[in-house]
Amino acid sequence: MKLSLRTFQIRETVKLRADVEKQLAPLQELARITAAYALVGKYQDRNRPFCATVHLEAPGPEIRAAGVDHTLAAAIKKVGEELRQQILLRPVHRQAQRKTRVKRRRGPS
């Protein structure tokens, strides 16, 4: 997986990149991810100033998540958890769509 990391209002460090990669690494076992685009930063005028957004390229619909918190590590962790939930719910959502299509073909009962 290729990781593209952008930052605003904070410095991009080796530790920051390692933290983002640490959150994304377990997701590769769940889905075939080709690329990840992450944006992390800090807003000066917000109650929870740190934010992180990640966009994963994978076969099928692309996966996106965002998180905000009081610390950068917590915001990155929230994004990782949200991405994991979305990946795990993909098969369930796909199956529900199939059932809906079958019902439409059969017509109303």
> How confident is the model over 84-107, as pLDDT tens digits?
999 999 877 666 666 666 666 666
Interval 44-65 mean pLDDT? 92
Three-state DSSP at 56 gives strand
Interval 35-51 mean pLDDT? 94
pLDDT at 97: 63
Interval 47-72 mean pLDDT? 94
Q: Is 107 left (phi over 0), alpha (psi -120 to 50) or beta?
A: left
Question: Which parts of the chain are beta strand (E)?
Answer: 2-8, 35-42, 50-57, 63-69
Per-residue b or e along 10-27, where b marks 16 or more CB atoms closer than 10 Å to that residue's CB? eeeeeebeebbeebbeeb
26, pLDDT greater than 90: yes
pLDDT at 94: 62
pLDDT at 28: 94
Could you tell me the domains of the chain? 2-106 (3.30.160.100)
CA separation for the pair 23, 25 (Å, rounded): 6
